[in-house]
Amino acid sequence: MVVIQPELKKELIEKARKNVFHKLGYHKKKMDPEVEKILKDAFLLVEEHKVIKPKGIYHILPVLKAVEGEVETDAGVIKSQKFSLMVKMCHGKRRIVFMLATIGDEFEKIYHKKKPLSSQFVFDTVGSELTETVADILERDWKGRIDNEGLQSSLRFSPGYCDWDLDGQSIIFNALDGMSIGVSFNNHFVMRPCKSISAIAVIARSVPIKAPCSFCIEKDCRWRRAL
């Protein structure tokens, strides 16, 4: 099990800032002055007051069995028709990487107190983007390890997406010590802090299908990651 506490370097924060501009719909038009001020305040907290506490953890386990709709590991059974198809199509020894990434709860506590709701929305978007940034750093860490072995991997796949129910969260926490980075989940499988990402990916010598979306007929899905 690998735990990291990455530094959010200036270039990563700047990239996150640009992504937030895009997600707020201002990549092709001038930003509203009020929104611009809120965004400036949010990143001031990130850059100068250091309220973001990035942490990540991952663990790689072997695939014990892959049958239709299920992938069995020592942490439990991943119940997803599409993910199991991905795993079955892999060549060579198959493994699953389980991962958790978070920015902590300090930033979240600050923006939940803000008024009006537009401020909360902008801060929430910033928090989500920075959490994705931490997840990307964590992913680069384990990918660097498997690259040295000449292995391939799929894109990350999270509980609650596609055909994997949110209760799949319990399998990820079976594989990982979430509390070592301050992350837990409630009876509804919702994580705390809320700015956290849990995911899995398959690793093998050859991974021909990178995302479950390849098997999906919903061509116009906004979350689609494959043709």
Residue pLDDT, tens place only, 158-208:
999 888 999 999 999 999 999 999 999 999 999 999 999 999 999 999 999
142: phi then psi, degrees, rounded to nearest 5: -75, -25
Question: In the chain, at which residue ranges do the beta strands (DSSP E only) sit?
Answer: 2-4, 55-62, 65-67, 70-73, 76-79, 95-102, 152-153, 184-185, 191-192, 196-204
Which CATH number covers residue 152? 3.40.109.40
Indicate whether 226 belongs to any domain: no
Indicate whether 222 belongs to any domain: no
- Number of compact structural domains in the chain: 1
Indicate whether 62 belongs to any domain: yes
Query: Which among 210, 171, 169, 174 is positioned nearest to 191, based on CA atoms?
Result: 169
Reading across the β-sheet that carries 65-67, which strands appear in turn? 65-67, 70-73, 76-79
Helix (H) or strand (E) holding 174: helix 169-175
Indicate whether 223 belongs to any domain: no
Residue pLDDT, tens place only, 105-137:
999 888 877 777 888 899 999 999 999 999 999
- pTM of the entire structure? 0.91
Return the bridge partners of 4, or none: 56
Find the domain containing 150 and state its range. 2-215
